[in-house]
Structure 1
Amino acid sequence: MFFIGICLGSFTNVCIFRLPRNKQTITGRSFCPKCKKKIQWFDNIPLISYLLLSGKCRKCYKNISLKYFIVEGICGAGFVLIFLNYSNYTSIVFLSLLFLLYITIFFIDLEHFIIPDSLSFTLMFLAISKNFLPNINASFIYDINESIIGGMIGYLSIWIIIYIYRIIKKIDGMGLGDAKLMAGIGLLFGWKAIPFVLFAASILGLLYVAPSLVNKKINLKSQIPFGPHIILGSVIYFLYGEFLYNLVLKI
């Protein structure tokens, strides 16, 4: 599972690099982002090639971003954890696909401040399809009506924020990519997850920008990626949502 994970992590890196640039992800050989020379197969082995080459291109000797190594490692570790915690193959395949999609969205938005529609719509498709798949033993909503309501509320939760901010400030404070991402989250977890995910994402976002605000590297008008924090918030809900809700109810 680790080997499968790092191989698919390598493809995830391709998607992270090419999708924001409107390039084909399926066809076309991998190439160095710096010198544009094609990368040979023996220099494209996940994790291993990066280590053997000391993180540099064999042709131009310029540094290759550590992000490629990190993404492959995260994907390998994620696949192992999913395999160890779920006993049926339907759950393993579905969660692995969702995990790769989350990683792709996370790193694209973190770097480019966009969430491609192709990824948002794929997330929505996966979220709806899980209602018709058997034996997915995970913290999702499996009633199609609740799922659709969750998707609508997820989208509207961001759209309303954008609308109000536009009226007050006369500019767009967020993008519709975040709204589509929240629609996918709502389709996955239902409407009850929306307040939790938004609250968690806001706290994580504040922690992310606080050092830069203190050092005055950015100001309150600076653009920041919100998608990665939505992703992290939904992961926290997936892992601990039920426990936290029960804790709040007891209080």
Structure 2
Amino acid sequence: MIFAFFFILGAIWGSFSNVCIFRLPQDKGVVLDRSFCPQCKCIIKWYDNIPLISFLYLKRKCRNCDCKIDFQYFFVELLSALTFCVVYFVYGLSVTTLLFIILSIFFIIIFFIDLKHFIIPDELSFPLMFIGLLKSFYPNLDQELFPNLINSLIGGILGYVIIWVIIFLYKKIKNKEGMGLGDAKLLSAIGFWFGWVSVPLIIFFSSVIALLYVAPTLINKTKSLTTEIPFGPYLIIGTVVYIIFGNQIKLILFNI
């Protein structure tokens, strides 16, 4: 029964995430404005806006104009629902579960916005930084997952500085922009959440994953080395890898 609760809660937050993904890049409000079809502009009734169910019932079409609904809406709701369940399964009813649920909502929104628009809105990065720092004042968190205040502060500063230095050097050498400050702010937020030790590991994981994804397109020449790619999604995937395997990797490194 509790899994059903987290699944439904996750689907609801996934629906809200879809609103943010669609509206934030357009500087539109995400709370008061009602959902509408992007094609016919008709307001979507509540019974056509039930997470997951309405998508399946309407067969991926708008009731009013038969415009196809982007599969991303269903995928985000399902991903959010499953993420909530997995977090609860691993960490139970705890503050850690609450924190990871909050983090997952931010990560899902940032992932899809950056993937599509190549931007990471400050409206997401700054609250994520603040929450990452604020949680360090809670005394009973697992120190292996979440660092103390000093570690968190260093992590936030280090995350920003590393990306800023990469941007600065690339611009000096190539005389053009390589990465955006949105990536620096995101890595800073991640540093606030998981401390300075996490930053180099997450950069490594993210870079390897990005390289593995981009390499085939470079080989078949559908993309070149100058093709712009969003790095935010890779930072998020790298962070997930760190959360899952970080402790084991740190044990290996510190025992060498």
Aligned residue for 1:132?
A: 137
Q: 2:205 aligns with which of 200, 208, 216?
A: 200
Q: 2:231 aligns with which of 195, 210, 226?
A: 226
Q: 2:98 aligns with which of 77, 93, 97?
A: 93
Aligned residue for 1:114?
A: 119
Aligned residue for 1:175?
A: 180
The 1-side partners of 2:62 and 2:143 are apart by 41
Aligned residue for 2:15?
A: 10
Show structure 1 runs of 4+ deviating over 6 A. none
Aligned residue for 2:153?
A: 148
The 2-side partners of 1:248 and 1:144 are apart by 23
Output the aligned Cα RMSD. 1.4
Q: Secondary structure at the match of 2:12?
A: helix
Q: Sequence identity, in percent?
A: 47
Aligned residue for 2:248?
A: 243
The 2-side partners of 1:119 and 1:250 are apart by 37
Decide which moves more: 112-121 or 129-138: 129-138
| Residue identity in the other structure for 1:243 | Q
Q: Is the 8 A contact 1:3 1:76 kept in 2?
A: yes
Q: Is the 8 A contact 1:139 1:238 kept in 2?
A: no
Which stretches in structure 1 are left out of the alignment for 5+ residues? none
| Residue identity in the other structure for 1:16 | I
Distance 1:138 1:5, change over 3 A: farther
The 2-side partners of 1:116 and 1:92 are apart by 25
Aligned residue for 1:74?
A: 79
Normalising by structure 2, we get a TM-score of 0.93
1:50-69 correspondence runs (5 A): 50-69=55-74
Aligned residue for 1:190?
A: 195
| Residue identity in the other structure for 2:53 | I
Which stretches in structure 2 are left out of the alignment for 5+ residues? 1-5
Aligned residue for 2:41?
A: 36
Aligned residue for 2:3?
A: none
Aligned residue for 1:215?
A: 220
Normalising by structure 1, we get a TM-score of 0.95
